Amino acid sequence: MLTTVLKPTAGRARVAGHDTVAEGLHVRASIGYIPQAISVDAALTGRESLEFYARVSGVPRREREARIAQAIETMGLETMVERLARTYSGGMLRRLEVATALLTRPRVLFLDEPTVGLDPTARRLVWEHLHMLREEEGTTLLVTTHMMEEAERHCERIAIMDLGRLAAQGSPQELREEYGAASLDDVFAAATGREIVEGGSFRDVRQQRRLSRRLG
Amino acid sequence: MSASSAGFPAGSAELRLDPLARLGRLVFGTAAIARVEAQKLRHDNLDILTRSVQPLLWLFVFGTALQHARSLNGGYGDYRAYIAPGVMAQAALFVAIFYGLAVIWERDLGQLQRLLATPLPRLGIVLGKASGASVRAIVQAFVLFAVLAVARIDIHWSVLGVLGSIVLLALGTAAFACLSMVLAAVVKTRERFMGIGQLVAMPLFFASSALYPLALLPVWLRAIARVNPLTYEVEGMRRMLLSLPVGDALWIDFAVTFAFLAVFAGLAARLYPRAIL
C-alpha cells in the first residue's frame, strides 16, 4: 500500500511527503521497492537489468551511465554485471536488486524480506551493504522480516504487525521494556498473543518455498 | 566514498506532470520494456528456431498436401503462397496468446509488483510487454520470409508489401498479447491459463481465413470469422504479399487491427493491477 501498488481500503498515508493515493506518481518517483521474490530478470545480464530500471524509473539520460557505475560500486557488483542473472547466487541477486533500486536515489527504500532464503554469509553481506547505504546516503530503509533477531540487531524502530494490524511499535529497547521481555521473539509473542509460525496462507508458504529453492 | 558527491543524494527524481511529459514516459517506458524483451530473445535464440518449426510444418506438409485442392487457394495459383501469411500470423498468434503466462510468471516472481511501483504508466507496461510479443513475431516472420524466398514460393516481393505486412503483423500480435494479458488478469494462475490459452487460440485460428477463403465456410462460422481480428490481419497481409487486386479494403484491415489493439490495450491497462492480487 505504501508503494501505491495496492489501494488502501481506509485511511491515508504520506511517503516522502506525498500522499499515497492523491500523489501516487510522486511517491513512485521518490521510492525504491524490492519485493520479496526475485524482481530482476534471470534472462538478462546484471547490467541490462540496471539499464532497464534506469530507463523505466526516469533517470535522466545524461546521468544514466554514471549512476549505474555508482550503483555497481556501492553494491560491489563489478565482477558479475556482464553475466546473466541466472548464474548468480542468492546474495548476488539481492545485491543486484538493491543496486537497481538505488539508481533513482530514492529517499525511501522498501525491502520485503531481503534476507529470506539466504545463507548466513550472504545475509551478513546484504545487511552490511544496507548499513552502508543508510550511513552514506541517508536513505530511509523500511524492511519487513520474520526474523526478530535481525530486526533487533539492524533496525532503529520496529513495528509488529499481526494479521494486518499494528500490534506494537518502538525501538527494540522500548519494546523489550514495555513487554518486560528478554528478546524480541518474546515481545512478538506477547504483542500478538500467539506463536510466530501461525498465519500466512497456503499460497504464501508455497511461494516462499519456491523462492527459497530458487535462491538455492 | 563521500556522502554527497559519490553517493545518492535524497529524492533527486524530477517529475513533470504536463501531458507531454506523460506521453514521453509512456513512449520511453514502452520502448524500454520492448528493448529488454528483445535482449532476452537475443540471449536465447534457440527459442526462435524451435518456434519456427511449427509454421514450416503447416507451410510444407499441410500446404503441399492440399496444394491440389483447387477450391482452397482462393483463386491463387500456389496454395503454399496463399497460406504463407496465415501461417505467419498463426505463429505470432500463439506467441501472443501465451504471453499472458509470462505476466503471471513475473507476478509470481515479483517483477510485476516492482514495475507497478515505478513511475512508469500502466499503459506503458502493457504496451511494452505487447511489443515484446511483436518483436518475437517479427523475428519469426523474417525467418519465414527467408524460407519462402529460398523455396521460391510464389510471393509477390515488394519492399512496401513486406514492410506493410510486418507492421500489420506487429499490430495484430500486440493486440492478441493484450487480450492474453486481460485473460491472465482474470484467471490468475498458470495452470488455469494453459487451458484457457488453448481454448482461445485454436478457435481464433480455425475461425479465420488463415488456411482457407471465408467463402468455403458455413454461414455461422463465416459470421464468427468476420468478427475475428485475425481474419483482418491475415487478409491484409495477403493483399500486400500476393499479387492480388488490393482494392480499398486494405485500410479497413489496418483500421480493424488497430482498433482491436486500442481496445484491448486499454482494457489490459485497467485490469493489469488486478493481476497481482
Three-state secondary structure readout of B14-27: CCCCCHHHHHHHHH
Residue A124 confidence class, pLDDT cut points 50, 70, 90: confident
Query: Do the Cβ atoms of B15 and A33 come within 8 Å?
Result: no
pLDDT average, residue stretch B19-33: 85
Query: Do the Cβ atoms of A74 and B1 come within 8 Å?
Result: yes
Q: Quick check: B245 pLDDT over 80?
A: no
Chain B 34-93, CB below 8 Å of chain A: which residues? 35-36, 39-40, 43-44
Instruction: Identify the pLDDT of residue B88.
Output: 92
Kindly state the percentage of chain A with pLDDT values over 70.
89
The region of weakest confidence among B57-66, B165-174, B238-247, B254-263 is B238-247
pLDDT average, residue stretch B133-148: 91
Terminal-to-terminal C-alpha distance of chain A: 30
The region of weakest confidence among A16-30, A202-216, B31-45, B233-247 is A202-216
**Between A18 and A194, the higher pLDDT residue:** A18
Min distance A143 CA to chain B CA atoms (Å): 15
Residue of chain B with shortest Cα separation from A140: B10
Q: Does B198 touch chain A (CB under 8 A)?
A: no
Q: Quick check: B253 pLDDT over 60?
A: yes
Instruction: Identify the pLDDT of residue A49.
Output: 92
Q: Cα–Cα distances in Å, from B46 out to A179, B51, B140?
A: 60, 9, 12
C-alpha A102, offset from chain centre: 12
Instruction: Identify the pLDDT of residue A167.
Output: 78
Nearest to B276 among A5, A30, A70 (CB): A5
Q: Quick check: A216 pLDDT over 60?
A: no
CB contacts, 8 Å: B6 with chain A: 70, 73
Query: Do the Cβ atoms of A44 and B119 come within 8 Å?
Result: no
Judging by beta carbons within 10 Å of its beta carbon (0-12, 13-18, 19+), is residue B47 exposed, middle or buried? middle
pLDDT average, residue stretch B198-208: 89
The region of weakest confidence among A85-94, A197-206, B4-13 is B4-13
pLDDT average, residue stretch A106-123: 81
Instruction: Name the range with the highest mean pLDDT among A10-24, A105-119, B139-153.
Output: B139-153
Residue B277 confidence class, pLDDT cut points 50, 70, 90: low
Instruction: Identify the pLDDT of residue B8.
Output: 35
Instruction: Identify the pLDDT of residue A203.
Output: 56
Q: Does B115 touch chain A (CB under 8 A)?
A: yes
Q: Does B10 touch chain A (CB under 8 A)?
A: yes
Q: Quick check: B45 pLDDT over 80?
A: no
Judging by beta carbons within 10 Å of its beta carbon (0-12, 13-18, 19+), is residue B101 exposed, middle or buried? middle
Q: What is the CA radius of gyration of chain A?
A: 18
Q: Quick check: B98 pLDDT over 70?
A: yes
Query: Do the Cβ atoms of B108 and A43 come within 8 Å?
Result: no
Q: Quick check: B270 pLDDT over 80?
A: yes
Nearest to B40 among A34, A43, A107 (CB): A43
Q: Quick check: B112 pLDDT over 90?
A: no
Instruction: Identify the pLDDT of residue B11.
Output: 41
Instruction: Centre a 10 Å sphere on the Cβ of residue B44 and count the other Cβ atoms it contains.
Output: 11
Q: Does B5 touch chain A (CB under 8 A)?
A: no
Residue A195 confidence class, pLDDT cut points 50, 70, 90: low
Interface test with B, best of A7, A28, A56 (most B CBs within 10 A): A56
Min distance B46 CA to chain A CA atoms (Å): 13
Residue of chain A with shortest Cα separation from B121: A25
Residue of chain B with shortest Cα separation from A33: B114
- Whether A46 and A81 have beta carbons less than 8 Å apart is answered as yes
Query: Do the Cβ atoms of B36 and A107 come within 8 Å?
Result: no
Nearest residue to A155 (alpha-carbon basis) of A184, A181, A182, A179: A184
Nearest to B36 among A25, A44, A67 (CB): A44
> Any alpha helices (H) in chain A, and if so which ranges?
24-30, 46-56, 61-74, 90-102, 120-137, 148-154, 172-179, 184-192, 202-215
Residue B20 confidence class, pLDDT cut points 50, 70, 90: confident
**Between B7 and A207, the higher pLDDT residue:** A207
Residue B12 confidence class, pLDDT cut points 50, 70, 90: very low
Min distance B147 CA to chain A CA atoms (Å): 29
pLDDT average, residue stretch B102-125: 83
**Between B117 and B246, the higher pLDDT residue:** B117
CB contacts, 8 Å: B43 with chain A: 43-45, 84
Q: Quick check: B166 pLDDT over 60?
A: yes
Query: Do the Cβ atoms of A139 and B25 come within 8 Å?
Result: no
Query: Do the Cβ atoms of A55 and B28 come within 8 Å?
Result: yes
CB contacts, 8 Å: A16 with chain B: 11
Q: Does B160 touch chain A (CB under 8 A)?
A: no
pLDDT average, residue stretch B85-114: 86
Instruction: Identify the pLDDT of residue A205.
Output: 59
pLDDT average, residue stretch A63-89: 87
Residue of chain A with shortest Cα separation from B124: A56
Instruction: Identify the pLDDT of residue B110.
Output: 75
Average pLDDT, chain A: 80
Query: Do the Cβ atoms of A26 and B15 come within 8 Å?
Result: yes
Give the CB-side neighbour count of residue B187, counting CA atoms within 13 A. 21
Give the CB-side neighbour count of residue B21, counting CA atoms within 13 A. 9
Instruction: Identify the pLDDT of residue B234.
Output: 93
Q: B47 is written with which cell numbers? A: 527459442
CA-angle at A162, arms to A156 and A166, nearest 5°: 55
Residue B82 confidence class, pLDDT cut points 50, 70, 90: confident
CB contacts, 8 Å: B8 with chain A: 67, 70, 74, 102, 105-106, 137, 139
Alpha-carbon distance of A205 to A200, in angstroms, equals 7
In the 8-state DSSP scheme, what is residue A45?
B
Min distance B26 CA to chain A CA atoms (Å): 10
pLDDT average, residue stretch A120-127: 80
Chain B 248-277, CB below 8 Å of chain A: which residues? 273, 276
Q: Coil, strand, or helix at residue A170?
A: strand
Instruction: Identify the pLDDT of residue B9.
Output: 37
Whether ipTM tops 0.85, in short, is no
* Widest distance between CA atoms in chain B: 79
pLDDT average, residue stretch A24-34: 82
Min distance A60 CA to chain B CA atoms (Å): 9
Average pLDDT, chain B: 84
Q: What b/e readout covers A174-205, taking b as 16+ CB neighbours within 10 angstroms?
A: ebbeebebeebeebbbbbbeeeeeeeeeeeee
Min distance B228 CA to chain A CA atoms (Å): 34
Q: Quick check: B5 pLDDT over 60?
A: no
Q: Cα–Cα distances in Å, from B60 out to A9, B78, B81, B175, B238?
A: 58, 12, 10, 28, 18
Residue B1 confidence class, pLDDT cut points 50, 70, 90: very low
